[in-house]
């Protein structure tokens, strides 16, 4: 049985910024492939939310986060999420080489 997925505002903003980046830098075809990879990853996580890596951040706002790589070829992008009793919350979407504890607390678009 799949877990309902809720997309947080920051996740949506991160997604839109990355989609626009791919559109501008690589073309619409790549941007739409990115969207398909994000949807496929969310679908997999909704079926198996435990697949993601448990993160051990110290900041209270980051406690309970898990991460999972977006499907290739976008697998350098991490999807950060939380699982509750009722849903999976897609929280942020960002490149894995960032200073994650700091960047996860900043507003989207400050790269």
Total count of domains within the chain: 1
Per DSSP, the residues of 67-80 read EEEPSTTSTTEEEE
Query: At CB < 8 A and 24+ separation, what contacts does 57-63 make?
Result: 57/100, 57/101, 57/104, 58/101, 59/101, 59/105, 61/104, 61/105, 62/101, 62/104, 62/105
Q: Which two tokens stand for residue 92?
A: 């942020």
Which domain, by its residues, includes 13? 5-95
User: pTM score, two decimals?
Assistant: 0.92
The residue ranking higher by pLDDT, 47 or 99, is 47
Which of the four pLDDT bands, split at 50, 70 and 90, describes residue 99? confident
CATH of the domain at 82: 3.30.2310.20
Domain annotation covers residue 109: no
Range list of β-strands (E), the chain? 5-7, 53-54, 66-69, 77-83, 88-95
Which of the four pLDDT bands, split at 50, 70 and 90, describes residue 70? very high
Determine the average pLDDT of the residues in 63-81: 96
Among 1-10, 26-35, 63-72, 97-106, which is the least confidently predicted range?
A: 97-106
Domain annotation covers residue 90: yes
Domain annotation covers residue 68: yes
CA atoms of 36 and 58, how far apart (whole Å): 33
pLDDT digits (tens, 9 = 90+) for 14-65: 999 999 999 999 999 999 999 999 999 999 999 999 999 999 999 999 999 9
Domain annotation covers residue 72: yes
Domain annotation covers residue 103: no
């Amino acid at each position: 049985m799949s877990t309902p997925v809720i997309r947080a505002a920051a996740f949506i903003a991160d997604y839109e910024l990355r989609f626009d980046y791919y559109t501008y830098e690589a073309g619409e075809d790549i941007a739409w492939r990115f969207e398909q990879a994000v949807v496929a990853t969310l679908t997999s996580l909704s079926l198996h939310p435990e697949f993601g890596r448990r993160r051990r951040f110290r900041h209270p706002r980051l406690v309970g986060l898990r991460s999972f790589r977006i499907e290739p070829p976008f697998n350098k992008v991490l999807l950060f999420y939380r699982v509750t009793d009722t849903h999976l919350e897609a929280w942020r979407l960002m490149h894995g080489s960032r200073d994650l504890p700091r960047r996860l607390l900043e507003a989207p678009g400050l790269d």
